[in-house]
Amino acid sequence: MRRFLLHGLPTGFHRIRHYGLLANAGRKAHLAKARQLLEAPPSEPVSDEVEATAVPTFVCRCCGAAMRIVEVFPRRPNIRAPP
């Protein structure tokens, strides 16, 4: 029971998980201000479309042609130890 109660906060305290420089409410503005103060170059925007459409290319060792992924075999689940 003691270990469970260590995860709760006493009354009057707030979780700090949602506060600070990387908080979701003002993340872009805060990071832009930090970059300005540090005189760092602006970051390049990352496009989700480029990542989603990027297909890994594999080259055949024999002929040098591009190979296609036909099927992907998922990993087997780990063997569970007996209780």
Q: pLDDT digit string (tens) for 35-75?
A: 899 998 877 766 655 555 666 678 888 888 888 888 888 88
For residue 37, the model assigns a pLDDT of 92
With contact defined as beta carbons under 8 Å apart, do 60 and 68 qualify? no
Average pLDDT for 20-31: 82
Q: pLDDT digit string (tens) for 6-17?
A: 777 788 877 776
Over the chain, what is the mean pLDDT?
77
Q: Name the more confident of 22 and 50.
A: 22
For 22, half-sphere exposure in the C-beta direction (CA atoms, 13 angstrom radius) is: 1
Confidence of residue 18 (pLDDT cuts 50, 70, 90): low
Residue 27 per-residue DSSP state: H
> Residue 26 above 80 pLDDT?
yes
Report d(CA 37, CA 27) in Å as an integer. Answer: 15
